[in-house]
Copies of this chain bind each other. A is one copy, B any other.
């Protein structure tokens, strides 16, 4: 222990020590003194969004790119607005630190009815316990540093959100300058790890045609190099789930494409399902990832490793760390092999010159975007045909695709662009959003403008909730048409383009690429019934459940 410091300063130092240089949020009186303190730390940037929901999504994207993110809001009226974004971070394993201001400890005496209070003073804390892996109420200066350490450690260990509530009279309270106790380092049980790796090697060696199915945890645990090294050394091809899209460069010769059961590309399905040894690494076995349960995967010929456990055929190991298992694969006695011909994703056409006056279609848009991707493009797709169509985009480098492909909350993409570009300013986000999802959170363009960011936003306008129409249609799927490309006039910022033909799309993309000083919004109007083949297959599956 050295000299004391304040609880607020300690929290800020710990965030910065773990790579958090930007905090997203909106101030309010219960959190104002902490905002003021953050603003005094010159190396920390405060990013105030239009609505707290935007801050929550931005922090989630930042965490996916940086490895840790933070959102800071006021008590209840701010915090409860990000219940959904935090639930998404939990479901999809994104380590977001939620910091909420709160009434002071002294103000809480005698249980008064302070503004923003819902029922009890701990109502918000209890709500966040439902979708975080650790929570702390910093009401005691003596324990606050250890509590901060514990909670941030949990976020990093489990790649999931945590919650810190700081009563406003605690922000400037002195606390022991607790030097981070290193939390006891967890390791695998060495005998279990050895046994599981030996079993894995044996199964792979016995197999004719092993395949790796890679999921998003490869990305969350930063294991892309280990995955690629292993696949290359052993000559084993790799498919990925939708949520895991881009865990390896999609231009790699070992890459097969997205596997998603009957709703994905047929050749990938055949290749994966006919494999006699499937090595599933860090994939969530969710309905959308698996093509709404059309996946036909036999556990008897599978190795399945995720952060919670490792399963081989029908038995399980509970004491193996995911990262140690994946890293250990490289050193096993697996016989390298040369894979035969792989059903690789089709190379995108080099933008065939069509008739410029043809109406633009979803299919053509994605073909054209495939040629538009650069090495510094990060693709951020909202839920809907923007996500399913985006499956066909060939991502150049690893981890340049962000999407809520499991939890599937609409409205993620525009605010996520704020977080993604601040987390890695080398990247220029290409945002794919629908007209419905844009209407939820798209005005966070304002935040992009305020902080001078320059993503390119494609609004794929198919005139309502198009994913739902094939399931069950009705007036509830209709929304007001917006002139999205006029929004820059409201904000006095950015550039807007309205596209109805192929030639207009080409021009808009060229202009957007050349315009570096702000965001570009490209409104692409397609027909009401123009859907990608992937979406049609998927919604047919979903419809069976809706109509049941």
Contacts and interface: CB of A to CB of B under 8 A. Distances in A.
Contacts of A493: 480
A548 B168 contact: yes
A474 interface: yes
Contacts of A407: 76-77, 115-118
A46 interface: yes
Nearest to A76: B87
Given A90-B119, A127-B130, A486-B489, A409 B77 contact: yes
Interface-central residue, A77, A410, A477, by most chain B CB under 10 Å: A77
Interface stretch (A28-36, A192-200, A254-262): A28-36
A427 interface: no
Contacts of A288: 115
Interface in A212-242: none
A409 B115 CA distance: 9
A127 B411 contact: no
A36 to B, nearest CB: 5
A91 interface: yes
A27 B548 CA distance: 17
Contacts of A472: 32-33, 35-36
A439 interface: yes
A449 B126 CA distance: 38
Interface in A6-47: 27-29, 32-33, 35-36, 39, 46
Nearest to A33: B546
A114 interface: yes
B27 A468 contact: yes
A491 interface: yes
Interface in A392-442: 406-411, 439-441
B168 A545 contact: yes
Contacts of A483: 489-492
A547 interface: yes
Contacts of A335: none
A50 B440 contact: yes
Contacts of A168: 545-546, 548
Given A27-B468, A32-B471, A476-B39, A446 B439 contact: yes
Interface string A281-317: 0001111100001000000000000000000000000
A122 to B, nearest CB: 10
A450 interface: yes
Interface stretch (A78-86, A134-142, A174-182, A527-535): A78-86
A430 B288 CA distance: 45
Contacts of A439: 50-51, 443, 446
Contact of A113 (B107, B286, B475, B491): B286
Interface in A67-106: 76-77, 80-81, 83-84, 87-88, 90-91, 104
A32 B76 CA distance: 30
A112 interface: yes
Interface string A265-276: 000000000000
A48 interface: yes
Contacts of A29: 468, 471, 542, 545-546
Interface of A: 27-29, 32-33, 35-36, 39, 46, 48, 50-53, 76-77, 80-81, 83-84, 87-88, 90-91, 104, 107, 112-119, 123, 126-127, 130-131, 168-169, 284-288, 293, 406-411, 439-441, 443, 446-447, 449-450, 465, 468, 471-472, 474-484, 486-487, 489-493, 542, 545-548
27 contacts: A28-B468, A32-B468, A32-B471, A35-B474, A39-B474, A48-B476, A48-B479, A51-B411, A76-B407, A77-B84, A77-B88, A77-B408, A83-B83, A83-B127, A87-B118, A107-B545, A113-B284, A115-B286, A115-B406, A115-B408, A116-B409, A118-B407, A123-B131, A443-B443, A450-B479, A483-B490, A487-B490
